């Protein structure tokens, strides 16, 4: 049976994630409050952040940046695109 949640990103009821996508308390909050569609939007945004900022995700500084942006994306004021970002 599909798990339905009220997605904090989409602002309506939607299909919930099948598993906790990130460890720890942040991962639990995401699992409880973010839909599959919302998570896919984050993955696309995260990919853009990695590419535009030329991040290496396994470096601690880059990882910390991405975690902070993920928290803002879902539970804060939103994660902004880089200033000079031009969609292709």
Distance CA 21, CA 24 (A): 10
Give me the phi and psi of 34, to 5 degrees please.
Answer: -120, 135
Q: Looking at the domain assignment, is residue 16 inside a domain?
A: yes
**Looking at residue 43, what is its pLDDT?**
97
Work out the pLDDT band at 77, boundaries 50, 70, 90.
Answer: confident
Q: Give me the percent of the chain exceeding a pLDDT of 70.
A: 97
Tokens of residue 32, six digits: 């409880």
Neighbours of 16 (CB within 10 A): 19
Domain harbouring 65, CATH code: 1.10.3880.10
Tokens of residue 10, six digits: 């989409």
Range of the domain at 50: 4-75
* Mean pLDDT confidence for 56-78: 94
Q: Looking at the domain assignment, is residue 80 inside a domain?
A: no
Q: Looking at the domain assignment, is residue 53 inside a domain?
A: yes
Q: Looking at the domain assignment, is residue 84 inside a domain?
A: no
Q: Looking at the domain assignment, is residue 24 inside a domain?
A: yes
Q: How do residues 28-63 score in pLDDT, each as one tens digit?
A: 999 999 999 999 999 999 999 999 999 999 999 999
Q: Looking at the domain assignment, is residue 13 inside a domain?
A: yes
Q: How many domains does the chain have?
A: 1
């Amino acid at each position: 049976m599909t798990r339905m949640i009220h997605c904090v990103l989409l602002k309506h009821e939607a299909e919930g994630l099948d598993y906790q996508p990130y460890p720890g308390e942040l991962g639990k909050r995401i699992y409880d409050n973010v839909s599959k569609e919302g998570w896919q939007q984050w993955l696309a945004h995260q990919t853009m952040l990695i590419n535009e900022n030329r991040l290496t995700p396994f470096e601690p500084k880059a990882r910390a940046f991405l975690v902070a942006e993920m928290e803002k994306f879902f539970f804060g004021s939103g994660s902004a695109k880089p200033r000079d970002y031009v969609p292709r």
